[in-house]
Amino acid sequence: MQTNEVKSGPASIIRSKLKDYQQLMKFTLSFTVVFSSVVSYLMVPGIEFDILSVLLLFAGGMLVTGAANAINQIVEKDTDAKMKRTATRPVASGRMHIDEAATFSVLAAVFGIFIIGLWFNWIAAGIAAFSLFLYGFIYTPLKKIHSISVLIGAVPGALPCLIGWAAGDPLLGIGGWVLFALQFLWQFPHFWAIAWVAHEDYSSAGFKLLPDVAGPTKYAAVQSILYSVLLIPIGVMPYVFGMSGMASMIIVGIANLAMFWQCVRLFREMNVTAARRVMFGSYFYLPIVLLSLLADKM
């Protein structure tokens, strides 16, 4: 019995450490971000599916995004410790020292940027580096100062589309900017719905995320509606610029109308249940839209 405990000790420690690094880089969020980058790359005219290129773009993107998320957790260590949803993060809980998290961030950023730069091009790598800087050093500290942080944060949140497009087209054709615009606008109803649901937790920690200083108000709901309305004409642009066909335009249009309707319901009902509908609907929105565009192109 004692022997089994000794044998299982190192394995348990390794599993625990891997879990901490998974939390540090926010693996699920990073995966979603890199997914949009890979799809954007495959949307570039003339780019054929190549498993090695896809895996390297995925690896580089995961490292850069993971580095940005690590910086976020270092900066927000004390704040994370105050909130239920983030108190168990490795740096906030004290399981990981700041120096260890910082070392991971530097190494991940360097390796990720070099993978993208050496295998694809330095335009894509430069955008990745800019995205990391904007997210880690501008957006993250700004969250406690002003709600404009959401606007600033939406830029690095949408840049993965441009990184992926630049990896296949360093001249940054119109297609990359259309995908950037779609993901940029999508983030506002998505993020404000999350901020609405977790408002008490966020406000108690000093975050200013909703567009109204008073919190979840009609004004905040109206802002979500406005951005969902802006998504509708942008959703037609892939068809207009020949990036995809009629089928995907219809699917994207339906997704945009569904997002708009959920935001209208939030305005009418003004409760957490309605905000959750916007939040969960937005989780489905991005993969549906991106995959429909990619399927139509291929």
The verdict on 132 and 234 lying in the same domain is no
Would you say 176 and 191 are in contact if contact means Cβ atoms under 8 Å apart?
no
Tokens representing 80 are 């994370």
The verdict on 49 and 109 lying in the same domain is yes
Q: What is the mean pLDDT of the chain?
A: 91
The verdict on 191 and 294 lying in the same domain is yes
- CATH of residue 188's domain is 1.20.120
SS3 252: helix
Would you say 70 and 82 are in contact if contact means Cβ atoms under 8 Å apart?
no
The verdict on 145 and 23 lying in the same domain is yes
Would you say 238 and 249 are in contact if contact means Cβ atoms under 8 Å apart?
yes
Nearest to 293 by CA among 257, 246, 232, 234: 246
The verdict on 98 and 168 lying in the same domain is yes
Domain boundary among 172, 203, 233: 172
Rounded to two decimals, what is the model's pTM?
A: 0.90
Domain boundary among 172, 200, 224: 172
The verdict on 62 and 200 lying in the same domain is no
Domain boundary among 114, 144, 172: 172
Q: What is the pLDDT of residues 182-238, one digit of tens each?
A: 999 999 999 999 999 988 888 888 888 888 878 899 999 999 999 999 999 999 999
Model confidence at 8, pLDDT cuts 50, 70, 90, reads low
Number of folded domains in the chain?
Answer: 2
What does the pLDDT read at residue 11?
78
Q: What's the CA gap between 156 and 153, in Å, rounded?
A: 6
> What's the CA angle centered on 163, arms 248 and 35, to 5 degrees?
55
What does the pLDDT read at residue 55?
96
Q: What is the pLDDT of residues 98-157, one digit of tens each?
A: 999 999 999 999 999 999 999 999 999 999 999 999 999 999 999 888 888 999 999 999
The verdict on 130 and 67 lying in the same domain is yes
State which residues form the domain around 212: 174-298
